[in-house]
Amino acid sequence: MYPVLAALVGPTVPDMRGMFLRGTGGNSAGLGIAQGDAIRNITGSVFLGMGVADNAWGVFTRSNFTSANAAGNWVSGVARTFDFNASHVVPTAPENRPVNMAVRYLIRAAM
């Protein structure tokens, strides 16, 4: 029905329902490729001494480490570190973004 438009974009129109349109370049995916949502990664640690519950879940991971006791001897597992890393449970990227698709914007000016 619109041969000039079909020559520019092809015979089919991409399904972009529910997507934000994003100009090409920068951190965008290739032209016409859907890109998933993401947040910037959030990381951190919490040090816990002996006698504290050592459960970890979600964005936290637990790791043993070796430390010195009062006598100066190296003892394994005296304390625990809980590490926080959001990428364990959500997609992360160098930017915050919604689900999107890269497009070229066409601007038509009439004189």
pLDDT at position 97: 94
Residue 62 near residue 80 (C-beta atoms within 8 A): yes
Dist CA 88 CA 77 (whole Å) = 24
4-61 per-position pLDDT tens digit? 877 877 777 777 888 999 998 889 999 888 999 999 998 887 766 665 555 666 777 7
Closest CA to 104 of 28, 6, 11, 2: 28
What pTM, to 2 d.p., does this model score? 0.55
Of 109 and 35, the structure prediction assigns the larger pLDDT to 35
